[in-house]
Structure 1
Amino acid sequence: MIQTYILYLLVIPFVQAQSTNYAQCTASPSGSYDLGLHITAVFVLLVASAIGVFLPVFMAKNVDEKSNSGNKRDEWVRRVFFVMKYFGTGIIISLAFCHLLQESFENFSNPCIGTLAYRPTTPSIAMGSMLVIWLVDYFSARWASRGDKSPPLAQIQPSKPTSIPLTSTNEDSIQPAPATPPVFADLGCTHIHRPTSDELDPNSQRAHWDVQLLEGGIVFHSIMIGVTLGAQTGGFEVTFAALVFHQLFEGLGLGTRIGALVWKRSWTKWLMCTLYAITTPVGIAIGIGVHQSFNENGKRELIAIGVLNSISAGILLYGGLCQLLYAEWVIGDMRDTSNARVCSALIALLLGVIAMALIGKWT
Structure 2
Amino acid sequence: MLELTGIANKTRLSAGSFLQGLTQSMSNVPCGGDTDLESCRDESAALILKIVAIASILVAGVCGVAIPLVGKKRRFLGTDTNLFVAAKAFAGGVILATGFVHMLPDATASLTDPCLPEIPWSKFPFSGFIAMMSALCTLLIEFIGTQYYERKQEKQSQIDPSHLLESGGIVPADSKGSSRKVFGEEEDGAIHIVGMHAHAAHHRHNHPQEGGACAGGLSGHDHGHSQSHPHLHSHGVSDLDDESGKRHVVVSQVLELGIVSHSVIIGLSLGVSQSPCTIRPLIGALSFHQFFEGFALGGCISQAQFKTLHSTLMACFFAVTTPLGIAVGTGISKIYNANSPRAVAIEGIFDSISAGILVYMALVDLIAADFLSKRMSCNTRLQVVSYIALFLGAGLMSLLALWA
1:61·1:259 contact (CA, 8 Å) conserved in 2? no
User: Aligned-pair distance for 1:207?
Assistant: 1.4
- Tell me if 1:93 matches 2:102: no
In structure 2, C-alpha distance between the alignment counterparts of 1:98 and 1:133, rounded to whole Å: 20
In structure 2, C-alpha distance between the alignment counterparts of 1:62 and 1:133, rounded to whole Å: 33
Aligned position for 2:392: 351
- Tell me if 1:313 matches 2:355: yes
In structure 2, C-alpha distance between the alignment counterparts of 1:22 and 1:304, rounded to whole Å: 15
Aligned position for 2:272: 231
Partner deviation per Cα, 1:164-195 (whole Å, 9 max, x = no partner): xxxxxxxxxxxxxxxx67xxx4346xxxx946
Query: Which residue identity does 1:149 align to in structure 2?
Result: K
TM-score of the pair, normalised by structure 2: 0.68
Q: Going by fraction, where is helix more abundant, 1 or 2?
A: 2
The residue correspondences of 1:272-311 to structure 2 (distance < 5 A) are 272-311=314-353
User: Aligned-pair distance for 1:278?
Assistant: 0.6
Q: 1:201 to 1:155 in 2, by over 3 A?
A: closer
In structure 2, C-alpha distance between the alignment counterparts of 1:61 and 1:285, rounded to whole Å: 35
In structure 2, C-alpha distance between the alignment counterparts of 1:344 and 1:245, rounded to whole Å: 21
User: Aligned-pair distance for 1:12?
Assistant: 7.1
1:87·1:351 contact (CA, 8 Å) conserved in 2? yes
| RMSD of aligned alpha carbons | 3.4
Structure 2 unaligned spans of 5+: 1-17, 155-174, 202-238
Query: Which residue identity does 1:290 align to in structure 2?
Result: I
Partner deviation per Cα, 1:198-247 (whole Å, 9 max, x = no partner): 89768622211111100110001111101110111232212233222222
1:130·1:315 contact (CA, 8 Å) conserved in 2? yes
1:214·1:319 contact (CA, 8 Å) conserved in 2? yes
In structure 1, C-alpha distance between the alignment counterparts of 2:77 and 2:54, rounded to whole Å: 35
Query: Which residue identity does 1:242 align to in structure 2?
Result: A
1:200·1:327 contact (CA, 8 Å) conserved in 2? no
In structure 1, C-alpha distance between the alignment counterparts of 2:79 and 2:241, rounded to whole Å: 23
SS of the counterpart of 1:49? Answer: helix
Q: 1:41 to 1:195 in 2, by over 3 A?
A: closer
Q: 1:202 to 1:92 in 2, by over 3 A?
A: farther
SS of the counterpart of 2:93? Answer: helix
SS of the counterpart of 1:54? Answer: helix
Partner deviation per Cα, 1:48-100 (whole Å, 9 max, x = no partner): 2212221232222313xxxxxxxxx6799944323212111112211111121
Aligned position for 2:229: none
Aligned position for 1:165: none
The residue correspondences of 1:177-216 to structure 2 (distance < 5 A) are 185-187=190-192, 194=197, 204-216=245-257
User: Aligned-pair distance for 1:39?
Assistant: 2.3
TM-score of the pair, normalised by structure 1: 0.75
2:57·2:322 contact (CA, 8 Å) conserved in 1? yes
- Tell me if 1:28 matches 2:40: no
How many residues matched?
A: 313
Structure 1 unaligned spans of 5+: 1-10, 64-72, 157-179
SS of the counterpart of 1:119? Answer: coil
- Tell me if 1:122 matches 2:127: yes
1:86·1:345 contact (CA, 8 Å) conserved in 2? yes
In structure 2, C-alpha distance between the alignment counterparts of 1:82 and 1:195, rounded to whole Å: 17
- What percent of counterpart residues are identical? 30
